[in-house]
Structure 1
Amino acid sequence: MVDYDLLVPYGWTEAVASRYLPLIGDLVPARVVRMDRSECDVVTPRGPARAACPRDITGLCTGDWVGLDADGTVRQLLPRESAITRSSVSGRSVAQVLAANVDTVLICTAADGDVDLGRIERMLALAWESGAQPVVVLTKADAADDLRLDAVRTVAPGATVVAVSAAAGAGLEDLTAVLTGTVALIGPSGAGKSTLANALLGAEVFATNAVRAVDGKGRHTTVHRELRPLPGGGTLIDTPGLRGVGLFDAAEGIGRTFSDIESLAADCRFADCGHETEPGCAVRAALAEGTITERRLTSYRKLARENEWMAARSDKRLAAERERAWRTIAKQQRRQYRERGHR
């Protein structure tokens, strides 16, 4: 009989067991803690192990649950409950999964630097779309001249916003109180993600680095996504800094991020109101009253247009792939017919 106790600190629960055990047959369940191209570090009922990743198992990511065979090879990627997904940095219309089976997303931004509300909205859309609960964390609060908590709260409806100082230990209890399940940290380099991760883990697990003095920008200290158990229960995934956060099929996430604007839009006179010069526009009325800002409306439009463009591009890519597949099939059929004719 397999003993799953060693998996419990990495997120194994009765609910996870009931969901996955019927799917894997004779395979052994394991969770991916770090990816390295054709191999990955996993935790199994027997403890940590190194697993091979064959080419036919694609898209594996830190946080995934998988099935291993007796040789320690990944044979099955189990269905994800959630996934933080952005458009590929290559510019192609494909998705890149940053972390899988995440329950809480910590959106980190340095309070002592440029608190970019537009970037926070973008990452909120990413987090909401994943199916996880976002929490906006203003790090390095002890070094900030002006904590913009109220400004951040106005752009994060439905999300908790906290200020912390990992160095001073301030605000960590408030943050820990809202963490559940698997927690992933996202944000730009220099946002203090690894320092915060170490504070939550209670040990210097991840390497840290100071921001560049010349421009105040961060350096890429974390180069891998890595999962670790939290001392109070749950798990944590630290991720490399995000230079760009392209949205991929994130209509629902945008709707949750801008729920204030979408609620107003429901009261517009026309269902297809563009919120420009149309009469009876509730969004423009709120803008005139100061209920929402021009910056927020512009950000909403920008993300919505970007998401629509990516969706259209993805549809074209899929159509092109289907056409190439049919052409390949047609060529094979013609070759088979020719070969038959020579027999």
Structure 2
Amino acid sequence: MKRNDFTEFFKAQMNEGDHIGRVTRLTHGLYTVVDDEQERNGEVSGRFHHTVEVDKDYPAVGDWVVFEPYDAGARAKIHRVLGRQTVLSRKKAGGSHQEQIIAANVGTVFIVTALTQEFNLRRIERYVQQIYESGASPVIVLTKRDLCDTVPDHIAKVESVAPGVPVYAVDSLTGTGMKELVTELRVGDTISLVGSSGVGKSTLINYLLGMEKQATQGVREEDQRGRHTTTHRELFELPNGTYIIDTPGMRELQLWGGDEEGVGQTFSDIDRLSASCKFRDCKHEREPGCAVQQAIDEGELDAARLKSYNKLKRELKRLELKDRYGTHRTNRMLHGPNAIK
């Protein structure tokens, strides 16, 4: 693997004599590390394992790591993870409040969704929000365009909830729309794919690779839900020098952190309208002179968009309080007799 993605940001973290490689695959705590010479399977060192404090500190696909070759150079023992330039993460599944890293050091994220029953504007909003928070740039890829008779209408709907985000409708089997999409592939950039199972992420990667590398399956006819084909995260190098990460399907993206700036980027249309509200602290409910409500009344803004905006802000506020005060105290603060309004 060429190091055209090993930038000055990472070089500044090296010490003399360090063996540097990139994590290209992670499955059940076993890693694949690639450098200029070869691909090695390996694991973290005992010292690393005993000093790590939280799961997110373990290596993730896309990470650059310092490792020690052993077993005649065939295996890798990981000693250190270089600081990450970007981190795409979500709340770990289950009741615990833990961060799960989806991919590290990603410049662009392709949000992949099918033009079938799976199409969901609210889910797209959540993906866009989390990608902005990661420091990466979102691109929306609408797959299975051959199954949709209203492609332009669907593109317009997506553009209305993701202002300024590039949107492409493609058919990965015939190549329709792919010529436009490949303009997003830049040498040295790392792209991560996110989306539900069955939307065509693996088929898309196979097309871009020019070979059948990833296993693919169809969707269940009764509900159009996808079957899990990708069960681990893996990084591939495309022929043009772009790197791309395939990820297991996610029907739900539970947010992990965020701030007003990220919400402002995701909902830039509401942010723009808010600047014209009569009151600076307008809640966009029944206040006189509310430009947002006026836009809804005039059909310029969908009421569901504002509802989603408010829901997202509430979720992010709850996450902020949990980080600061813990789950029990946060519940009292939000639902007790003196709850925060």
When the two structures are superposed, what TM-score results if normalisation uses the length of structure 1? 0.86
Mean Cα deviation higher: 21-30 or 305-314: 21-30
Contact 2:118 / 2:225 at 8 angstroms: preserved in 1?
no
SS at match of 2:112: strand
Q: In the alignment, which residue of structure 2 is the partner of 1:276?
A: 285
Answer yes or no: is the 8 Å Cα contact 1:93–1:317 preserved in 2.
no
Residue matched to 1:7: 2
CA distance in 2, matches of 1:22, 1:137: 35
Residue in structure 2 matched with residue 334 of structure 1 by the alignment: none
Q: Does the alignment pair 1:51 with 2:76?
A: no
Cα distance in 2 for partners of 1:302, 1:225 equals: 30
**1:199 shift after superposition:** 0.8
Q: Find the structure with the greater CA-based Rg.
A: 1
The 5 A counterparts of 1:210-289 are 210-251=218-259, 252-289=261-298
Shift of 1:145: 2.3
The equivalent residue for 1:159 is 165
The residue aligned with 1:328 is none
Aligned match of 1:32 = 23
Distance, in Å, in 2 between the alignment partners of 1:90 and 1:60 is 21
Residue 179 of structure 2 corresponds to residue 173 of structure 1: yes
Deviations 1:50-100 (A, max 9, x none): 122131353321001111124421111111111111111123222211011
1: CA distance, partners of 2:291 / 2:5? 48
Question: Closer, same or farther in 2 for the Cα pair 1:318/1:28, shift >3 Å?
Answer: farther
Secondary structure of the corresponding residue to residue 326 of structure 2: helix
Q: 2:13 aligns with which of 11, 14, 23?
A: 23
Corresponding residue pairs, total: 310
Once the two structures are TM-superposed, the CA of residue 319 in structure 1 deviates from its matched residue by 11
2:105 is aligned to: 101
Match of 1:305 in 2: 314
Cross-structure match for 1:124: 128
Deviation at 1:318, TM superposition (A): 9.8
Query: Which string of whole-angstrom CA distances, capped at 9 and with x for unpartnered residues, describes residues 286-325 of structure 1?
Result: 11111111011111111111111111112223999xxxxx
Q: CA–CA distance in 2 between the matches of 1:319 and 1:217?
A: 36
Q: Distance in 1 between matches of 2:164 and 2:95?
A: 31
Q: After alignment, is 35-44 or 102-111 more displaced?
A: 35-44
Structure 2 matches for 1:183-194, cutoff 5 A?
Answer: 183-194=191-202
Specify every segment of 5 or more residues in structure 2 that has no aligned partner in the other structure, as ranges: 71-75, 330-341
Cα distance, 1:178 vs. partner?
1.7
* 2: CA distance, partners of 1:108 / 1:91: 27
Deviations 1:101-149 (A, max 9, x none): 1111110110133421111111111111111111111100011122211
Listed as ranges, the gaps of 5+ residues in structure 1 are 1-5, 321-343
2:85 matches 1:81: yes
Q: Quick check: 1:268–1:281 contact (8 Å CA) kept in 2?
A: yes
Residue identity matched to 1:156: A
Secondary structure of the residue that 2:205 maps to in structure 1? helix
Secondary structure in 1 matching 2:13: helix
* Change in 2 beyond 3 A, CA 1:69/1:317: farther
Which amino acid is the alignment partner of residue 105 of structure 2? N
Counterpart contact for 1:7–1:43, Cα < 8 Å: no
Q: What amino acid is aligned across from residue 20 of structure 1 in structure 2?
A: F
2:2 aligned partner, one-letter code = L
Return the offset for 1:253.
2.7
Separation in 1 of the partners of 2:141 and 2:268? 20
Q: Which has the higher helix share?
A: 1
SS at 1:23's partner residue? coil
Two-structure CA RMSD over aligned residues (Å):
1.8
Moved over 3 A (4+): 317-320
Contact preservation (8 Å) 1:41, 1:48: yes
Please state whether the residue corresponding to 1:312 is helix, strand or coil. helix
Letter in 1 for 2:184: V
